[in-house]
Chain A
Amino acid sequence: DTGVSQDPRHKITKRGQNVTFRCDPISEHNRLYWYRQTLGQGPEFLTYFQNEAQLEKSRLLSDRFSAERPKGSFSTLEIQRTEQGDSAMYLCASSSPRQLSGNTIYFGEGSWLTVV
C-alpha cells in the first residue's frame, strides 16, 4: 500500500498519560500535515512540515503537543498529560506541490484517541 499510513488506528488512554501517533506519508511527498477532527466537525489544522522543517503550528497546538519529522520522512505527534478534551481523530496527510492537480493533500485513515 503506497498511501498515507497511521499507527495506531485506535488508542484509549487514561487522563494524564502521554500518547504518541506515527504517520508515514506517501514516499515522494515532501509536505506533511497533522489535523484534528471531532465528531460532526470538519478537520482542524494543527501543524505542517516541509521536509524536516516544521513551518507552521496552529494555536490549537498547546505546549502539551509536539510534532516531529526528524528525517523528513515519517512524523510523530505526541500529546503529553492527555485531557478528555483531546479525544478526537488525529489525521495525517501528505502532499507534493509538483502534482498536476495542484497541491492535492492525501489523508491517512486517522488515529482515534479516547481519553478516559
Chain B
Amino acid sequence: AQKITQTQPGMFVQEKEAVTLDCTYDTSDPSYGLFWYKQPSSGEMIFLIYQGSYDQQNATEGRYSLNFQKARKSANLVISASQLGDSAMYFCAMDSNYQLIWGAGTKLIIKP
C-alpha cells in the first residue's frame, strides 16, 4: 500500500536559517509524483513544489527545493533563508491515480 511518512510533528527554526522537512514514501508504482503543500492557519492548501519519479534533477521553486533520493524513497523539502511568513503546516503528498496520499504534516514555526 502507498504511504507517506513525515516524522517531524513540529519544528522551531530561527529566521533566515535554512530548514529541511523530512518525507519518506512507499509505493510499488514505477511512476509517481511527489508534492509539498503549505497550509497556513487560514486553511488554504498552497502548492509549493512537485517532483516526478522520472525527473533527473531535483525540483526547485524559488526558496523551495526538493531533495529527491529515489533509492532511499525520500523527498525532503528544503526552505532556504526562512521567513516569518513560512510558519505553517507543511504536508508531503504522493499521487495515486486520481487522488493524493498525504503525510501527517509538520508544523513549522519560524522564530524572529
Centre residue among A40, A103, A110, A112 by max chain B CB count within 10 A: A103
Given contacts A42-B91, A109-B42, contact A104 B102 (CB under 8 A): no
Q: How long is the Cα–Cα vector from A103 to B100 in the complex, in angstroms?
A: 10
* B45 close to A107 (CB less than 8 A): yes
Q: Which residues on B sit within 8 Å (CB–CB) of A104?
A: 35, 47, 50
Is A48's beta carbon under 8 Å from chain B? yes
Q: Assess A101 versus B50: contact at CB under 8 Å? Given A108-B44, A110-B44.
A: yes
In the complex, chain B residues whose CB is within 8 Å of the CB of A107? 37, 44-47
Given contacts A42-B102, A109-B43, list 12 more A-B pairs with CB under 8 A: A33-B98, A42-B93, A43-B91, A50-B98, A102-B52, A102-B95, A103-B33, A104-B47, A104-B50, A105-B100, A107-B44, A110-B45
Is A45 an interface residue when CB atoms closer than 8 A count as contact?
Answer: yes
Residues of A close to B43: CB separation below 8 A: 89, 109-110, 112
Q: Does any Cβ of A come within 8 Å of B104's Cβ?
A: yes
Interface size on A, residues (CB 8 A): 25
Q: Per DSSP, are chain B's interface residues mostly helix, strand or loop, or mixed?
A: strand
Give the docked Cα–Cα distance between A76 and B100 (Å). Answer: 20
Q: Ordered nearest first, which 9 A-B pairs have the shortest CB separation?
A: A42-B102, A107-B45, A102-B33, A45-B99, A109-B44, A101-B50, A110-B43, A48-B98, A102-B52
Give B96's nearest chain A residue, CB to CB: A45
- Most B-side CB within 10 Å, residue of A48, A55, A105, A106: A105
B93: chain A residues at CB < 8 Å are 42
* Distance of A102 Cα from B66 Cα, bound (Å): 15
Residues of chain A contacted by B99 (CB below 8 angstroms): 33, 45, 48, 56
A41 interfacial contact with B, CB 8 Å: yes
